[in-house]
Structure 1
Amino acid sequence: MQYYDVSSIQQLLKYDELIEALEKCHLGNMPDSAHMLRNEPDNGSNQFVALVGWQKNEIIVVKLVGVFPDNLKLQPVQPSIQGVVVAFNAKTGTPEFAADGAEMTFRKTAGVSGLGSRLLAREDAETLLIVGAGGLAPHVLQAHCAARPSINKVMIWNRTFEKAESLAKLWTTSERPVQAVTDLSQSTRGADIISCVTMSDMPLIKGEDLQDGAHLDLVGAYLPTMREADDAAMIKGRIYVDTRQNMEGAGDLCQPVERGLMSWDAVQGDLFDLCTKRVNARHSDHEITIFKNVGGGHLDLFTTQFLSRKTL
């Protein structure tokens, strides 16, 4: 059985092509999908996730990954996401190939956020702010820049400045400088697209700092107790999600709903709605848009299906 390692996936899944493929996938129907999330016994901080996506007569995709945050503290450092994605023939059940689970997860997650920018951010967006400097940060940098080639400046903020600085030095180019920043509020005020990729349990982005026309991409806060944007930001922007499945577990959405500050009707649509134009995307250049990247087994299926087609 063929196995695709990190290097192979990086070569095959370029973000401009992946974003286009994800958009086309959302013109069809939602595949069958299910997931299981298990917390570490005895209240440990680690988690294990199993996701299954099933496109009848085409492909079955199973992702098995562990989320081990303390891996980043090990010497040598290990990725916090470890696992594997396996593709099966949906007609026979035969396993066809496996792929590195961490890299596939990074590509899927960043590709979905890139699609959100392609559909919702202003076409003339020039400045990107990335909040967080972990493993996903360079992927969302590439994805947003692929979705909006007009981006000519990138800022990175992280609680540990040295990590932001190291990432900035690695990804800066003469055509697109990347700068580590220390003042998050000021940087937010100057950003056209803000992409948050953190494990924060406290709001980082304030609504008062969002400029007119900004697009806010929220990738972290996948648990009800986590937050990346404050209530003012969530109320100020027009909200979309990648999928409505399990969005109730995302802290940036469920917390303001629970406090009565907004209802679930505030979510204007998902990627199926946006890609098929069942709902309007950006209404004006002055509007603030918010995209909550929830994730789901069908998105892993779409990404793996594209990998399969690239290798035929």
Structure 2
Amino acid sequence: MQLLNQAVVTEHLNMQAAIEAIESLLTQQAAHPNWVKAPERLVIETFSEDKNHSSGSHLSMPATIYDGDQEYTTVKLVTICPDNPSRNMPTTTAIVTVSNNDTGEILAIMDGIYITQVRTAALSGIATKYMAKSDCQSVAVVGCGGMAYEQLHAVMTVRPDIKKVYLWNRNNEGAEQFKTKFARDYAQWDVEIQVCKEIGEAIRDADIINVATRATEGLFGIEQIKSDAHINAVGAYQPSMKEISNDVVAGSNMVVVDDLAGSRHEAGDLIQAHDASDCAWTWDDLSGDLQALVTGELKEDTTKSKKGITLFKSVGAASFDAAVALYIAKQAVQKNIGSLVNW
């Protein structure tokens, strides 16, 4: 069994590999629906009954994947700790196990923080690849936490011609730190990064808008964004949360989710839009899911200069974690990556 800490996972997992692993999974799942199984994840709200603890959650996410030769099981255990930034710790902590179902042998245990960040970002990268204009020049990052960092990485991977990045965060210091870190880590992209004090300033001219927050109400209205903007919304992972306003949802020419079943239970933006009496959008207006985009069942012309607003809503699913974790586990076994432990 290989043990892989966060540094090892980060070293051996790149964004392009994650995007390809998930696209391969979606293509495989379309051709062989029974090869991938991912029951609805278990979410338990964590203790928040005194002033010293903010509301968080613990998630258990199992999945099995048959790759045409062998079947594997991955299990990701995640704890979301809203108070962690004040402790100089990541908001999301996670661990992933990968096992061979033929023998039950655990192939690898790995840190899941970077896997979670990269797989979430890879989903947005895939959505951007198929939904955003091909000539995008700018991207706005709304919310500059841990998830947002790799979101920008993914968008830049599929739209490398972007020249301008706008950052907005409730805490301006967080945006400044984001700017410094991204410019240092990804110097290969010649982009101008601007920290904005107001959210309207950040999104006004953006071709792509990445939103990753714990907001409970819409952060901007449709009149504040470009008429052909593409939005990647990866926060609001509970029904009580919301970061995309009803008018943006209803005014989008295309609304796509990563997971059809999960979104109906967890996509707070869409759940609240559907339930609102003054919002015209319902689940019947959903365009489809990421699998339909990748396989070509659902197509969007990204060359049109005026194509309307497109919205991608992600809540995550264990199968996506499984695809990325399985890629790393196979690499670890084949190349002896990490630390070998006799269990």
Q: TM-score by structure 1 length?
A: 0.94
- Count residues with an aligned counterpart: 310
Is structure 2 residue 115 aligned with structure 1 residue 104? yes
Contact 1:242 1:295 in 2 (8 A): yes
Is structure 2 residue 318 aligned with structure 1 residue 308? no
Deviations 1:38-76 (A, max 9, x none): 1125756121110001114321100011111111122xx
Contact 2:59 2:77 in 1 (8 A): yes
Contact 2:107 2:329 in 1 (8 A): no
* Residue 269 of structure 2: aligned partner: 252
Q: CA deviation at 1:36?
A: 0.8
Q: Which of the numbers 110, 115, 120 marks the counterpart of 2:131? A: 120
Aligned residues: percent identity?
A: 28
Which residue identity is paired with 1:93?
G
CA distance in 2, matches of 1:83, 1:127: 32
List alignment gaps of at least 5 residues for structure 1: none
Contact 1:19 1:147 in 2 (8 A): no
Contact 1:206 1:233 in 2 (8 A): yes
Pick 1 or 2: higher relative contact order, CA cutoff 8 A, min separation 6.
Answer: 2
Mean CA deviation greater in 38-47 or 15-24: 38-47
Q: CA deviation at 1:194?
A: 0.3
Which residue identity is paired with 2:56?
N
CA distance in 1, matches of 2:300, 2:73: 31
Q: CA deviation at 1:267?
A: 1.3
Is structure 2 residue 171 aligned with structure 1 residue 160? yes
Contact 2:267 2:314 in 1 (8 A): no
Instruction: Name the SS for the 2:11 alignment partner.
Output: helix
Is structure 2 residue 106 aligned with structure 1 residue 95? yes
RMSD: 1.6
CA distance in 2, matches of 1:265, 1:163: 38
Q: TM-score by structure 2 length?
A: 0.86
Deviations 1:80-101 (A, max 9, x none): 2122100000221111001112
Contact 1:282 1:289 in 2 (8 A): no
Residue 42 and residue 11 in structure 1: after superposition, are their counterparts in 2 closer, same or farther (change >3 A)? closer
CA distance in 2, matches of 1:285, 1:221: 30
After TM superposition, list the pairs within 5 Å mapping 1:278-289 onto structure 2: 278-282=297-301, 284-286=304-306, 287-289=308-310
Q: Which protein shows a greater Rg?
A: 2
After TM superposition, list the pairs within 5 Å mapping 1:25-104 onto structure 2: 25-29=25-29, 30=33, 31-34=36-39, 35-41=41-47, 43=49, 45-56=55-66, 57-74=70-87, 77-104=88-115
Is structure 2 residue 252 aligned with structure 1 residue 233? no
Q: CA deviation at 1:177?
A: 2.1
Is structure 2 residue 288 aligned with structure 1 residue 277? no
CA distance in 2, matches of 1:242, 1:121: 16
Q: CA deviation at 1:230?
A: 0.8
CA distance in 1, matches of 2:260, 2:316: 9
Contact 1:208 1:232 in 2 (8 A): no
Deviations 1:147-172 (A, max 9, x none): 11111211110011111012112223
Q: Which of the numbers 302, 307, 311 marks the counterpart of 1:290? A: 311
Q: CA deviation at 1:281?
A: 2.4
CA distance in 2, matches of 1:186, 1:228: 17
